Structure 1
């Protein structure tokens, strides 16, 4: 992410950049609300056995502590430690001595008037107290925040940061080639992951039904977002027919559906190569960040190859409509920019002309002036 943020022009953080950020934030919030509503209505996890065996224990965490843990993980004190550990609030039982009130015991009724004796009567209570701790796992949130800040700083360094930009570009290219090699062996690894989960299943019918309901939930959510929300948002902003605009995207949408690859317009993937099963990778990162288990996520891989194509198509549609909305809102800035670019191109072409050609043009102009005077 560092080289991608460094490659951004400083003008990208202007009005057009802000409009793009507002668009993506709006569509993301709408998508989250739609997903929550559909999950509440369909209940894709319905049918799970209540007595299903789970190793370990579930620790109750308050919403405030979980939110504060996310903020603390955004700013890790040690980047090396953030690669394998993340902050998490733990709870410990601590004993406290609490004075006994007179109405809580028979002894209090007997010695109600003896205040000195009441001061010596206490009881021991236990309470759960939050204490700072850590758990094993990559602090992806902290690494992303640091990479974004570091990339912005490198981008503002201009020529001084050129060496760092070239280094990270080369490092990114090397890592992506390594990932491409690993992806050739991914089907074999996924085969054994799914096989291991199938062996552990006690009732394959229940698991199959849950996967089917999960698939239906995702498809319904994507259809609502792609067919209703995004075109309606485009129409409300531009007052133009969205289906004419979408008609020009058919080739791109079919390509996205067939290849399951797109370059998303989020800050995490600007200029980066498309990542296969990016939705599944994002899901793992989110679950890890909030401390939820990721043991059974391998079951989703069995159907994610199909859902990922639908998600990619929806992403391409959303990115394209977003570009149309931003272009409509920024049409005045774009016109001014085109005029400036046109003048600069003309001046640049004049500067690139050979001296002999310039002298010939000047002589022609002089001869034309003399003819007009005569």
Structure 2
């Protein structure tokens, strides 16, 4: 197997100095996630210092470490390990011929990224790379890039933000061939004085470093469509819209409920039509699927593989995964896990899905508070009441002062 990184390649990328020659087959900055043969990057943060965990990393099988001070074991010595991680990410992006997709949005990023991975991994026969979990911030994105094998055919990277200008920095690293904005919603709105307009502008930063023949993929049904399109047209060679409106470039022509949940969709992509099943329930997943098809088409992937991937998608931990649990009474209960994060748009979508869920027994809602909503937080929480009241829940447990 070809090594992911050699000491020589890391030296060249980071301008560091290797203590010995070595090869590494993975990259991590959390010593608890180190696997055999991994490269450990000892990052210094406000509340932690990875150098304190170098011994633990080597005990777990690390091949070497990137450090800013000599340690016992193979290492690359650099002046700043955070800058070294970014440099490694840039080197990884520079050496690959893969088609790269960046995914952002207020909701739907992780599910869209996972579906794209499933679709493109099928048609590339295992040569597709993606960011794992929700590694979508200033350290997660460069880590994900540094983990990409040089011979990858496709790379999909989730890119998040909660302040303006954060995506500008991330897109300079990723330099996507196609960039998706899934939706604009009041997530982190407390950090944006001008509300959703500010969020739309911040999300549109993903288009700033598109590849020369790059494609911007934007939600036609968004109230911020015109704003997103104007920014996209400044940076993209191609702008593709998706949605339910007849003017959308990739649009849902027909949507009906699937027999076992989910949806049966007929979509129009220019001169092409595609009929497919989405395993996940909810209109938001139909919208996400259209963005996925647009991205697959933009990077030359196989649309049939995308349709199969959507039909086989299962819920993601914290984002719709279902669990069946045994009750003391001897019966069973289905738990729908949407616990990862929440904003008004994702909460509304979840409640609508819950309302439509067929159930022969009782329904129970357990809802936590939504964060980073600023001065309008009380109004956003109060606005959930109508959806809760029509949900069919026989009992509701609300957690947190904001839910009062």
TM-score (norm 1): 0.22
**Structure with higher RCO (Cα < 8 A, 6+ apart):** 1
Larger Rg: 1
Q: Which has a greater percent of helix? A: 1
Q: Which has a greater percent of strand? A: 2
